[in-house]
Amino acid sequence: MRVAVVDIGTNSTRLLIADADSGDEVKERLRRSEVTRLGDGVDASGALSEQAMARVFARLDEFALAIGEHECEANLAVLTSAVRDASNGAEFAARVRNDYGLDARVLSGAEEAQLTFLGAMAGRAPAIDPTVVIDIGGGSTEVVVGVGRSAGFHVSLPAGVVRMSERHIHSDPPTPADLQALAQDVRDVLADGVPDAESAPVRAGVAVAGTATSAASMELELAPDDPARVHGHRLALGTVELLLARLADMDEDGRRAVVGLHPDRAPTIVAGMVLLSEAMRAFGLEHVEVSEHDILYGGALRLAGIG
């Protein structure tokens, strides 16, 4: 069946139009992603700003036209950390539902984790050993451990690239003190949220979403972006650490010019690299596999009746 999935996240707004079936297969027809930073200021103010919401609505205007042109049979809009946390999140979700005809759902952290794992496992041979899926978002990071196609332990951690950037990065480029405070905060969040009993058995990792795909694209020096080369790329912890050191030594204008990094991700990519490196360390991973299959794929499969 032809389906449309919209992911309205803290940092980006994305669209997937695909043919999905009960055989765990997703065939992409159209994929779009725009950095809209819905979560700007939410950590401090507790509410979505009018400017941030307007950026998202502008993208949804475009997405609605594409969904109509492709004659989608079903749709789903997933709203995540920024909307969960905002005092006006319910009103925003209602407008998405009413103005755009989208089945808009504000996901709990657990629901977000389950859909992310379902999507990350799409098209893969079922994992034999415990595998962790790491999804670094704008407001939160979802960590899901599972075997085969079944998610077991999952947690939504209150640490994302926008939230951590606003909280800890106070100069451009960031100072060593900024970076140390950010890394310590991330380590504390991981220690509080991920018990040793859950991290110790993990033998493999899959990293999804913009931080991980950007890291792969930068290592491969891709210009323009090439999702086919990014998907399945084996990313080493040492590479993440080198990228972090390089990016943290630049100001935002310098980061915007880095080959393989979308300029709109320049303001938050340093926090993203810290989050990815600390998550890999927490699970004892020297490498992760980067995947383009994430919550969008999970949503498509859910519409097809899987999971």
pLDDT tens per residue across span 99-136: 999 999 998 877 887 888 888 887 777 667 889 999 99
Q: Is the pLDDT of residue 25 over 60?
A: yes
Residue 4 is predicted with a pLDDT of 95
- The residues of the chain that CATH labels 3.30.420.40 are 2-109
Q: Is the pLDDT of residue 141 over 60?
A: yes
Query: 3-12, 144-153, 177-186, 246-255: which range is least confident on average?
Result: 144-153
Q: What is the arithmetic mean of pLDDT over 282-297?
A: 93
Q: What is the arithmetic mean of pLDDT over 260-269?
A: 93
What is the residue-averaged pLDDT of the chain? 90
Residue 307 is predicted with a pLDDT of 57
- The residues of the chain that CATH labels 3.30.420.150 are 123-291
Residue 225 is predicted with a pLDDT of 77
Q: What is the arithmetic mean of pLDDT over 191-198?
A: 93
Domain 2-109 part of CATH 3.40.640.10: no
Residue 23 is predicted with a pLDDT of 66
Residue 121 is predicted with a pLDDT of 82
Residue 10 is predicted with a pLDDT of 84
Q: What is the arithmetic mean of pLDDT over 227-246?
A: 95
pLDDT band at 22 (very low <50, low <70, confident <90, very high): low
**Domain 123-291, CATH:** 3.30.420.150
Residue 219 is predicted with a pLDDT of 96
* Greatest mean pLDDT range, 120-129, 149-158, 177-186, 215-224: 177-186
Residue 9 is predicted with a pLDDT of 87
Model confidence pTM above 0.85: no
Residues of the chain above pLDDT 90, percent:
65
Q: What is the arithmetic mean of pLDDT over 44-61?
A: 92
DSSP the chain: -EEEEEEE-SSEEEEEEEEEETTTEEEEEEEEEEE--TTTTHHHHSS--HHHHHHHHHHHHHHHHHHHHTT-SEEEEEE-HHHHH-TTHHHHHHHHHHHH---EEE--HHHHHHHHHHHHTTTSPPEEEEEEEEEE-SS-EEEEEEEETEEEEEEEES--HHHHHHHH--SSSPPHHHHHHHHHHHHHHHHHHS-HHHHTT--EEEEESHHHHHHHHHHHT-SS--HHHHTT-EEEHHHHHHHHHHHHTS-HHHHHTSTTS-GGGTTTHHHHHHHHHHHHHHTT-SEEEEES-SHHHHHHHHHTT--
pLDDT band at 244 (very low <50, low <70, confident <90, very high): very high
Question: For residues 45 and 59, which has the higher predicted lDDT (pLDDT)?
Answer: 59
pLDDT band at 294 (very low <50, low <70, confident <90, very high): confident
